[in-house]
Structure 1
Amino acid sequence: MPQIETLPFGQTGHMSSRVIFGSFAVKDATKEQCADVLQLLYDYGVNHIDTAPSYGEAELRVGEWMARHRKDFFLATKLDVNGYQQAREQLQRSLNRLQVDCVDLLQLHNLTDETVREFVMAEDGALDYLQEAKDKGLTRFIGITGHGFQAPQRHLETLERHAFDSVLTPCNYMLMHNDAYAASFDQLREYCRQNNIALQTIKSAARRKYPDRKWTHQTWYQPLSDPEAIGKAVTWVMGIPEVFVVSSGDLTVLPHILSAAASFAGPPEEAQMQELVQEQAMEPLFT
């Protein structure tokens, strides 16, 4: 089976698979489903897992893997609290759930609200604990994640105040055809390139918001479901050098993302993407 290519994950020294497993997909999964997912990750050479304490039972499911397979994966989790003591308690809970003594990457979750950022970066804020956790070996690296239209710009502002090892932000064909978003994303990408910061992306296989709010998948947005459509959307993002793609939070989409990434030989042409938008009635998630 073809393997997904790897790239240096910033300055961490780790060669990460370009698709990072987004463990939101197993937040409600059965043991049998989790076993199938783990086998898929091995089949395609995925060696990097992203999880979070807010992803239902995902940390517990990943922890069951880590008990036997820790050495095979670069493991990332997150903090979604503002204060030092809260952050300390949350990380300890995550380490217990993940059945590990330390993680490879600890990220501040969705750090895009300017007011929240001030609390996080204040004295005795969550960032103080993040740095302490790194100094104590509870995490090897620290990063930031974000959602929404303003994420790239907010990340740039945050990076100017503190040196993080990684960032995570939305990126897909529809978003990148908004001139304002594309400009801020490209600025973030260039900053990351110059400073050797790993750039992770999410929402590659997004189709649109749910019509009439009728959910058909596990994700809050409606993902693409046709394998060929998923392949085009994912490989378009992979056509941006240096970026990593965090897989969708829906188990039915995951195999098609991995298959497309393993066969990646270059992005689709613009005409193919425009045709995809029309065929799938794709719409921007953020404006």
Structure 2
Amino acid sequence: MLKRKIGRLGYEGSVVMFGAASLGDVTQDEADQSISFALNHGVNHFDTAADYGDAEVRLGPIISEVRNEIFLATKTGQRTKEKAKAEIYRSLERMKVDSVDLLQLHAVGTIEELDKCTAKGGALEAALEAKEEGIVKAIGITGHGHQAPVTHLEALKRFSFDTVLLPLNYYMYSLPDYRAAFDELMAEANSQNVAVRVIKAIAKAPWGEQQERNYATWYEPFDQQEVIDACVHFVLSFPGIAGFASAGDIHLFPKIVDAVERYGSVNNEEAERILSSISGYTTIFGSPTSIA
């Protein structure tokens, strides 16, 4: 399993993160099988959130047993210090652990949400207090949507976050405004040695209204191995990316791991050929507005 340093934290994390977004939608036995598959294939980077239903509960039984062998990240979607602090303690209890390696302020994809988190009495204060207590080792920020790069760039000017987590895939990077904003964020993150981790690597499009939803993702994912290979190649060959989160559906996870294990078998030209020729490939975040 390919590993890369998680920014200034120095931890050698698997480049594919076990994304637990939909783990709460499966049984405990199914969750255990998927987590065990990840561990058996060298995945040591697990990313969940308090907002992911019972995902933290599903992680708990196995994760608590291998806590010292993995990098464990969770998120709080609360915006006030009081509520965020309570949620952090709740996450530890649900996962049966004493601490997490990374606590992220969740879904901060606009300046308005950033303002709430960084205001006096905001969630950032809870994260800092938790770090002082030793139950959180590092602090990050995450965001969805087309405004995420601009928002996270501003976030890095306000506070020295250890990590950022935001969307990146071939289609989104083809949008001129998103590309410019993402590149600017990458430059600043690199200058601060902030780990850039990405999501939605294999997202294809929003689900159609009449379309059968075969996967536990809120968007239509790619599921053909050749296309997944190209998507994984794109994000992993991107300079400065520490890793990417797998799509939440446990049935897609083995295909994603397979693509990572064969990283290098697809070259840039082949990935470009595959991804540029896909019909219906678009952004899952609605029509992009001006990002500047």
TM bucket by the smaller chain? over 0.9
Pick one of 6, 20, 45 that aligns with 1:9. Answer: 6
Unaligned runs of 5+ in 2: none
2: CA distance, partners of 1:123 / 1:93 = 23
Q: Can you list the C-alpha shifts for 1:103-153, whole angstroms capped at 9, x where unaligned?
A: 110000011232232222111111111111111101000000000001011
Q: Can you list the C-alpha shifts for 1:36-80, whole angstroms capped at 9, x where unaligned?
A: 212221232110100001111100011111221111211001111
Greater shift, 206-215 or 85-94, is seen at: 206-215
Check whether the contact 2:165–2:199 (CA below 8 A) recurs between aligned residues: yes
Check whether the contact 1:175–1:181 (CA below 8 A) recurs between aligned residues: yes
2: CA distance, partners of 1:52 / 1:114 = 21
Give secondary structure in 2 for the equivalent of 1:138. coil
Give secondary structure in 1 for the equivalent of 2:204. strand
Correspondence 1:114-193 to 2 at 5 A: 114-193=111-190
2:252 aligns with: 253
Greater shift, 268-277 or 92-101, is seen at: 268-277
2: CA distance, partners of 1:38 / 1:51 = 12
Check whether the contact 1:7–1:242 (CA below 8 A) recurs between aligned residues: no
CA displacement at 1:285 relative to structure 2: 2.0
Correspondence 1:53-132 to 2 at 5 A: 53-132=50-129
1:20 aligns with: 17
Unaligned runs of 5+ in 1: none
Q: TM-score, normalised by structure 1?
A: 0.94
Runs of 4+ in 1 over 4 A off after TM superposition: none
2:284 partner letter:
L
1:39 aligns with: 36
Greater shift, 259-268 or 58-67, is seen at: 259-268
1: CA distance, partners of 2:21 / 2:153 = 26
Give secondary structure in 1 for the equivalent of 2:120. coil
Check whether the contact 1:155–1:188 (CA below 8 A) recurs between aligned residues: yes
Alignment RMSD, CA only?
A: 1.5
Structure 1 vs Structure 2: percent identity of aligned residues? 35
1:27 partner letter:
G
2: CA distance, partners of 1:70 / 1:275 = 39
Give secondary structure in 2 for the equivalent of 1:110. coil
Give secondary structure in 2 for the equivalent of 1:115. helix
1: CA distance, partners of 2:101 / 2:270 = 40
2:27 partner letter:
T
CA displacement at 1:272 relative to structure 2: 4.2
Q: TM-score, normalised by structure 2?
A: 0.93
2:280 aligns with: 281
Give secondary structure in 1 for the equivalent of 2:160. coil
2: CA distance, partners of 1:213 / 1:164 = 41
Correspondence 1:220-231 to 2 at 5 A: 220-231=218-229
2: CA distance, partners of 1:72 / 1:271 = 36
CA displacement at 1:277 relative to structure 2: 4.2
Q: Can you list the C-alpha shifts for 1:190-242, whole angstroms capped at 9, x where unaligned?
A: 11111110100000001111122533321111000111111111111111133
2:230 aligns with: 232
Pick one of 191, 199, 204 that aligns with 1:202. Answer: 199
Check whether the contact 1:237–1:267 (CA below 8 A) recurs between aligned residues: no
2:164 partner letter:
V
2:39 partner letter:
Y
Give secondary structure in 1 for the equivalent of 2:259. helix
Q: 1:189 to 1:20 in 2, by over 3 A?
A: same
